[in-house]
Amino acid sequence: MASATARHAGAEPVGTRRRRAPSTARTRIIGWMLLLVLCALAVLTLVTWRLSLDDVDARMDEALRSEIEEFSTLTRSGIDPATGHAFAGVDEVLETAITYNLARPNEKFLGYVDGTFAYQSRQQAPVLLAGDSRFTDLVATVDRPEEGTYESAAGEVRYIAVPVRLENDPRKGVIVAAYFADQEREDVNEIARLMASAGAVTVLLVAAGAWVVAGRILRPLRDITATARSITDTDLSRRIPQASRRPGDEIGELVDTVNAMLDRVENAVVEQRRFVDDAGHELRTPITIVRGHLELLDTSDPEDVATTLALVEDELMRMNRMVSDLLLLAKSDQPEFLRTENVDVAALTSAIFDKITGLGEREWRLDHLAEVDAVLDPQRITQAVVALADNAVRHTDEGGWIALSSENTGATVRFSVADSGSGVSAEDRDRIFERFARGASARRSDGAGLGLSIVRAIAAAHGGRVTLDSEPGRGATFTVEVPVVALPPQPGRQA
């Protein structure tokens, strides 16, 4: 009691499981979809931003080199393009170069003479590089062209510094072209931020779409769960609703498979219930007979005792036969039920005919023999044909005829038993193959109505079938049709 209570206390309430299971699956689907979208957007944004920054940096470097090339050309010529005369000094070169070259946005030109700031372009700059002593110390006294980066109060500065010399002027000049890189990259950063914002909106839209899509995907699973919960031991008729599905629809295929499984389960349970009911009814009759005679037995009367013992023995033998037949049917779908071998069908048919002629005083005929070899279980086939012959004897009068034949159709072999008896009515043709079933016109016999069920089970075990061709008053023909090579036993095959 304590262990049961502990298990119950540790178990999750049923209602909680019902709420959490679909939600967990839905959340996982949405989570994975969002993760994939986020990764894709992050990679796209990062790559775009990085490539754009590289392009901006390359463009700044190219612009700086272009500007310095123009300055170098002007210095080498030594001629003032405005007057056409030679420059009088380094300061004139710097002033002319900076004045006549328009700086781009975020670009700055600076001129230094003997290490001291002298000129700068008019373009507005985020910070005053001319007043930055560290930058002045870095570029004002270079003696060869030099490029690099500098961290200013406004961020990174990319620059190229080129010395300026004139033969008629001993002073040392330096011209500097500088780009405020962080400000130049701001447009790219703004685009990246816009992409991030758009990505966030996209993620929200994807989350909403994923919620709807996941719900549609999981709907059949919820239907499966609801259907499974609604099925009880007394009602197995519920099925999962299935909308029209397209080819290749895995969920639809799952629904079809589960519905087919439920069909098989329902059929098996119905068959089992009917089998139990019929078996109980059939076994109850001899038990009742035995009990009734034992209760009325006069132990002082030897004749009554002998008669009662004979009756009890007969009923017990009938019960034993019934139980044996039931065990045989239960084993019919097991692999060891058949022991196949290569069989000469004509010789097997003749051997069976020799056996059945002793079943009763009838006109026995051997109509046709199939000259073919087949892989089958000769003992089971003999058992099935003998059962059909015994059934024919019980449904024909003395002097009637019973015919046995075998036929090769190519892929199958047919064993047929025909008789001149009363035949089988249309409403009984399918029912007589069921367990404990007898035709409406069947004569009283010691059997339990399992003979034809056993015949059908043997045919099904071979991968074949048993058929009936009959008209009331004109006899009946039962045919056991099996493949030339018996199929492997399949679990759940209808017997």
Domain of 446: which CATH number?
3.30.565.10
Instruction: Tell me: do 312 and 338 sit in the same domain.
Output: no
Q: Which residues, including other chains, have CB under 8 Å from residue 270's CB and lie 6 or more apart?
A: 236
CATH number at residue 296: 1.10.287.130
Instruction: Tell me: do 391 and 475 sit in the same domain.
Output: yes
CA distance 21 to 28: 11
Instruction: Tell me: do 346 and 381 sit in the same domain.
Output: yes
Sheet holding 476-483, edge to edge: 363-368, 401-408, 412-419, 476-483, 465-470
Average pLDDT estimate for 251-277: 79
Q: Which of the pair, 4 or 470, is modelled with greater confidence?
A: 470
Within a domain: 362 = yes
Instruction: Tell me: do 258 and 324 sit in the same domain.
Output: yes
Please give the tally of structural domains in the chain: 3
Instruction: Tell me: do 318 and 345 sit in the same domain.
Output: no
Residue 212: pLDDT band by 50, 70, 90 thresholds? confident
Q: Which of the pair, 11 or 457, is modelled with greater confidence?
A: 457
Task: Please give the pLDDT value at position 243.
Answer: 67
Angle ∠(393,399,405) on CA atoms, nearest 5: 55
Residue 5 predicted with pLDDT over 70:
no
Q: Which domain holds residue 298?
A: 250-329
CA distance 204 to 38: 11
Instruction: Tell me: do 362 and 477 sit in the same domain.
Output: yes
The mean pLDDT value of the chain amounts to 80
Residue 151 predicted with pLDDT over 80:
yes
Buried b (16+ CB within 10 A) or exposed e, 419-434: bbbbbbbeebeeebbb
Task: Please give the pLDDT value at position 363.
Answer: 92
Instruction: Tell me: do 342 and 312 sit in the same domain.
Output: no
Tell me the one-letter amino acid at 160: I
Nearest to 421 by CA among 446, 403, 405: 403
Whole-prediction pTM value? 0.47
CB 464 within 8 A of CB 482: yes
Instruction: Tell me: do 308 and 348 sit in the same domain.
Output: no
Tens of pLDDT, residue by residue over 273-300, are: 776 766 676 677 678 778 887 888 888 8
Q: Which residues, including other chains, have CB under 8 Å from residue 489's CB and lie 6 or more apart?
A: 333, 334, 335, 337, 338, 461
Instruction: Tell me: do 345 and 307 sit in the same domain.
Output: no
Instruction: Tell me: do 419 and 446 sit in the same domain.
Output: yes
Reduced to 3 states (helix: H, G, I; strand: E, B; else coil), residue 174 is: strand
Phi and psi angles of residue 78, each rounded to the nearest 5 degrees, phi first: 70, 10
Q: What is the DSSP string of 292-338?
A: HHHHT--TT-HHHHHHHHHHHHHHHHHHHHHHHHHHHHHTTTSGGG-
Give the burial class of 3: count Cβ atoms within 10 A of its Cβ; 0-12 exposed, 13-18 middle, 19 or more buried. Answer: exposed
DSSP β-ladder status, 465-470 and 341-344: unpaired
Reduced to 3 states (helix: H, G, I; strand: E, B; else coil), residue 3 is: helix
Task: Please give the pLDDT value at position 454.
Answer: 82
CB 89 within 8 A of CB 171: yes
Question: Which DSSP letter does residue 153 get?
Answer: T
CB 94 within 8 A of CB 119: yes
